[in-house]
Structure 1
Amino acid sequence: MNKRAAAWGMALALGAASPAVWTGSASAEGVNDDLAAVRAATAAYHNEDKAVADGYIPGLEFCAESPEGAMGYHDVNPANFEGPLDARKPQALLYQPGADGSRKLVAVEYIVIDADQDTATDDDRPYLFGQPFDGPVEGHGPDMPVHYTLHVWVWQHNPAGMFAEWNPAGSC
């Protein structure tokens, strides 16, 4: 089992994250303040070793990209699936490769396991920053459950939008 599958397996064992407690603000000014709080909470993770020390498991197997753009490598923290969703503790950090072979923090991703594991229903859709999560979508591997996601490009400009899934300015 690879590290990413193990991280998802641990997340399932811990249970689904409950609806957001800190949902942030829906006003433009409030959202900017909330995004600043996310940047402050994740700034240390520009150093991926710090992220690993804090429980993030590096996504080494592939850099996610599509014709719509790139996401990057996903480092997942199983502990952040426990308890209520907290915008300052994203379930995943997204890194893209730098020209020198290093990995650069570009975004955070929030992941909430779908309560009924049915992609045809969405009555448990979470929200953060006044934004609905994408999904529910099937897992991307055998150990991944049906889930919702919200990508937030707090460290890289995304011409498709701050909350878009893919970043056409990114690269793998």
Structure 2
Amino acid sequence: MRTIHRMLAATLIAGAAIAASALPAQAHEGDHPSEPTATTPEMHRIVAKVRAATARFHDVETAIAAGYVPAGECAASPAGAMGFHYVNPALVRPGAPVDPAQPPMLTYGPSPSGDLRLWSAEFFEPDVGQPVPTLGTYPFDGPMPGHDPGMPTHYDLHVWVGAHNPAGVFAPFNPALSC
């Protein structure tokens, strides 16, 4: 597992360094709320696109075959769980337009039978001085420091397409789930 973490960190750092050379530095405003106060037609369209794009990834083996690799233990906090992260390094493209059909990360959690089931798609970009990324008009959270050694400062946005999240479709943690 440590080898996967090192590979992921190296991939993310290399991608961030390459992208940083192409983007001007800009000041950041800090954290940006990602959850709307009410559902909107745009939110429904975005979630539908992400849900359709990830439908085949309910089977974690299909995600692995498509290039997603495990990136750590099940992430949880007092606010709830995020799950086991799987990252597709080819889809981590700092500063590129965000495509709802190509989430760079997927999260999985245990099902009652013990198998992994898809919980969310996560859009992730290392911070290379770009403007705050958005999915449609919804800004990513961040910039935030990396959560593990070697993980860069980054932006991210979860879209809970496989499990209902009472905290909101774009909330980072799901209080109804645990690892």
User: What TM-score comes out, normalization by structure 1 length?
Assistant: 0.83
1:5 aligns with 2:6: yes
Q: How does 1:75-94 map to 2 (within 5 A)?
A: 75-82=86-93, 83-94=96-107
Q: Please identify, of 93-102 and 8-17, the stretch whose mean Cα deviation from structure 2 is larger.
A: 8-17
Pairwise CA distance, 1:11: 2.6
The structure 1 residue matched to 2:152, chosen from 137, 145, 164, is: 145
Q: How does 1:16-31 map to 2 (within 5 A)?
A: 16=19, 28-31=40-43
Find the counterpart in structure 1 of residue 134 from structure 2: 127
Corresponding residue SS for 2:6: helix
Find the counterpart in structure 2 of residue 62 from structure 1: 73
Could you list the runs of 5+ residues in structure 1 that have no partner in the other structure?
20-25, 117-122
Corresponding residue SS for 2:49: helix
Q: How does 1:153-172 map to 2 (within 5 A)?
A: 153-172=160-179
Q: Does the CA contact (< 8 Å) of 1:46 and 1:104 recur in 2?
A: yes
Pairwise CA distance, 1:88: 1.1
Q: Does the CA contact (< 8 Å) of 2:98 and 2:134 recur in 1?
A: no
Corresponding residue SS for 1:2: helix
Decide which structure has greater strand share. 1
Find the counterpart in structure 2 of residue 108 from structure 1: 121
The separation in 2 between residues aligned to 1:87 and 1:30, in whole angstroms, is 12
Cα RMSD between the aligned structures?
A: 2.3
**Equivalent pairs, count:** 159
The separation in 2 between residues aligned to 1:87 and 1:8, in whole angstroms, is 23
Pairwise CA distance, 1:12: 2.5
Pairwise CA distance, 1:128: 1.1
Percent identity of paired positions between Structure 1 and Structure 2: 44
The separation in 1 between residues aligned to 2:169 and 2:143, in whole angstroms, is 20
The CA deviation string for residues 99-156 of structure 1, in whole angstroms up to 9 with x for no partner, is: 222101010111111114xxxxxx7211114221111111112221100110111111
Could you list the runs of 5+ residues in structure 2 that have no partner in the other structure?
24-35
Q: Does the CA contact (< 8 Å) of 2:146 and 2:154 recur in 1?
A: yes
